[in-house]
Structure 1
Amino acid sequence: MDTFNPPRRAFIQGALATGFALAVQPVTAGSIATDSRALDSGLAGIPLDDGILPVYFARPTARSSLPIVLVVQEIFGVHEHIRDICRRLAKLGYLAVAPELYFRQGNPAASPDIASIIKDIVSKVPDAQVMQDLDATLGWAAAHGGDASRAAITGFCWGGRICWLYASHHPQLKAGIAWYGKLEGAHDALTPTQPVDVAASLSVPILGLYGGQDSSIPQDSVERMRQALQQGQSGSQIVVYPTAGHAFNADYRPSYQVAAAQDGWQRLQAWLDSHGMQASKAADTD
C-alpha cells in the first residue's frame, strides 16, 4: 500500500466509510465478510487537480500485470459492502479498486437516511466528474500492479448506471457488469446522458442484472434498454430475476435475495472470463 503523510492519510480515512453506512443500520446478520488473507488491501489516494481522490483497493499479494476491475459504489459510498466486493474480486485474481466518487460533495456514510444522501450529496455529483475520476482510478491501477489492456467495470445501484455510461466513455474496456442501475432519467447539466441513450452505440459488452420486482426500475424501462442494445453490436445482455427487487445483491440489507445474488456473481465471473479478463485466483492460506 502507498504511504502518505499523516494529514493526507487522515483525510483519506475521513472521506471513506468505516464499517457500514449509517443509513443502512442495522445491518442484517447474514452479511458476507471476506477476509484479506493472501491479499494486499487498504486505502490509497490519487492526486487530482482539485484534491485527493480516496480509493479502496484489494489485489492478490505479490502479483503483477493483474486484470483490473473498477468497482463503482452504491449511493452509500465506499462503505464495507463495497470493500468486501473488492476483496471478493481480489480472491478471484483481480486488482479491484473502488474510488470514493462523492468525496468533493460529502461523506454519505455519515448521512442519517437515504433521502438526505440523495438531496445533499448525490444530486450534486456531475457525471463528467465521475468519468474523469474513473479515468484517474484506472490510471492509478495500471501503475500499481494492474494491466490497463485488461480492464473492466462493475457497479451497483447508482454505480450500475455509471457502469453503462463509463463503458460508453471508455470503449477500451473489455467488459462491464451493471447491477440494478437506472436506465432512464432526467437530462440536465449534471446528467446530460442516460444509459438508454448510449445503448445502441456501445462497443463494450455489458451484462445488466436486474430485478423483476424492482419498483425503481420498471420492466418497461428494462425492455426499452434491451431493444436499444439490440440495435447495436456490443453483444450486451440483460438478465432479469423475476422475483428479485432492487439491491438483491446487498447481503447486508433486507433486500438481499440469495439465489439471484449467487447466480449474478457466477454470471459476473463467466462474463469476465469470456471477454478477455481471465485471472488466476489468489492463493488463500489459513
Structure 2
Amino acid sequence: MTSTSTVDYQRTDGRTLRLTFSAPDGALRGGLVVLHEADGVTDGVKMLLASLALEGWLTVTPHLENAELTQQDLLDATDVTLAWLVERGVQGDLLGVMGFDLGGTAALVVASHRRLGAAVSVGGQQTAELPALVEIAGKLTSPWLGMYGDAGDEAGGAEVERLRDAAASAKVATNVVHYPGANHRFDADPGAAAEAWQRTLNWFDAHLR
C-alpha cells in the first residue's frame, strides 16, 4: 500500500495549510483533491488517498476546520491545494476533486464554483454554513458524479430524485446514483461500496484525460 505524508504548505498570504498526500509509484495520471469527512483526516481518509494513488493519481487532502467551515474558507483552501498539485506537475485539465460525508457536500460546492476536470461526491452531510445540495447542483461547472445511500444523507430517499433533476439542468455531464438501504458511509453494504468505488474510478478515467 502506498504511504501518506503530511506537510505544512505555505500560502501566498504567508499562512500555512496542512496537507496530507499520497503519490503514485509509477506514472502520474493527474491530481485529486480529497475533501475529508467531519471527523477530519482519519485513517479512513489516508486509506482512500493511498488507494487512489495506487490507481496513478497524486492525491491530497487539506486539513479543514469543519465546525465552522464557510463556503469561502472551503474554496480558498481548495484553491491552495490545487496550486500545490499544479506545482507538482499536474496539468489543469487533469485536476479533480472528491469528497465523502461532509466532504461530499464540499466537493459539490467546489464543483459548482470551479472548473475542474471531474468531481465525485459520496454522501452529503449538511451544515448551516454550506448551501443545500439541490440549490447548487444546477450550477455545476465541473463534470460531477454523486452517490448516495439513505441514512444520514441529505440526498437520501426521495430527495435523491430532486438532486438528480437539479443536476441534470447543469451544462456539464452529471450522474446521480442512489443506493437504497446503504448508509451514508456505504460500510453497511459491501456490494454498494465496491460498485461506488468502481464508478468513482470510471468517472475519473473518463473525464481526466
Q: What TM-score, normalized to structure 1?
A: 0.67
Q: What percentage of aligned pairs have identical amino acids?
A: 28
| Superposed CA offset, 1:108-129 (max 9, x none) | xxxxxxxxxxxxxx33221211
**Partner residue in 1 for 2:164:** 226
CA spacing shift, 1:200–1:61, aligned 2, 3 Å: same
Within 5 Å, give how 1:98-177 maps onto structure 2.
Answer: 98-102=61-65, 122-171=66-115, 173-177=116-120
Within 5 Å, give how 1:177-192 maps onto structure 2.
Answer: 177-182=120-125, 186=128, 190-191=129-130
| Superposed CA offset, 1:156-193 (max 9, x none) | 1000000110011112x1111100114x664xxx43x3
| 2:123/2:153 contact within 8 Å kept | no
Partner Cα separation in structure 2 for residue 256 and residue 131 of structure 1: 32
Partner Cα separation in structure 2 for residue 179 and residue 148 of structure 1: 23
Number of residue pairs matched?
207
Structure 1 residue 63: Cα displacement: 4.7
CA spacing shift, 1:146–1:263, aligned 2, 3 Å: same
Which residue among 174, 194, 198 is the counterpart of 1:236? 174
Larger radius of gyration: 1
Q: Which stretch of structure 1 is more off in the superposition, 217-226 or 82-91?
A: 217-226
Partner Cα separation in structure 2 for residue 174 and residue 209 of structure 1: 18
| RMSD of aligned residue pairs (Cα, Å) | 1.9
Within 5 Å, give how 1:56-95 maps onto structure 2.
Answer: 56-61=20-25, 63=27, 66-95=29-58
Structure 1 residue 87: Cα displacement: 0.5
> Any unmatched runs of 5+ in structure 1?
1-34, 103-121, 249-254, 279-286
> Any unmatched runs of 5+ in structure 2?
none
| 1:57/1:95 contact within 8 Å kept | yes
Structure 1 residue 206: Cα displacement: 0.8
**Matching of residue 257 in structure 1 with residue 189 in structure 2:** yes
CA spacing shift, 1:195–1:50, aligned 2, 3 Å: farther
| 1:205/1:235 contact within 8 Å kept | yes
Q: What TM-score, normalized to structure 2?
A: 0.90
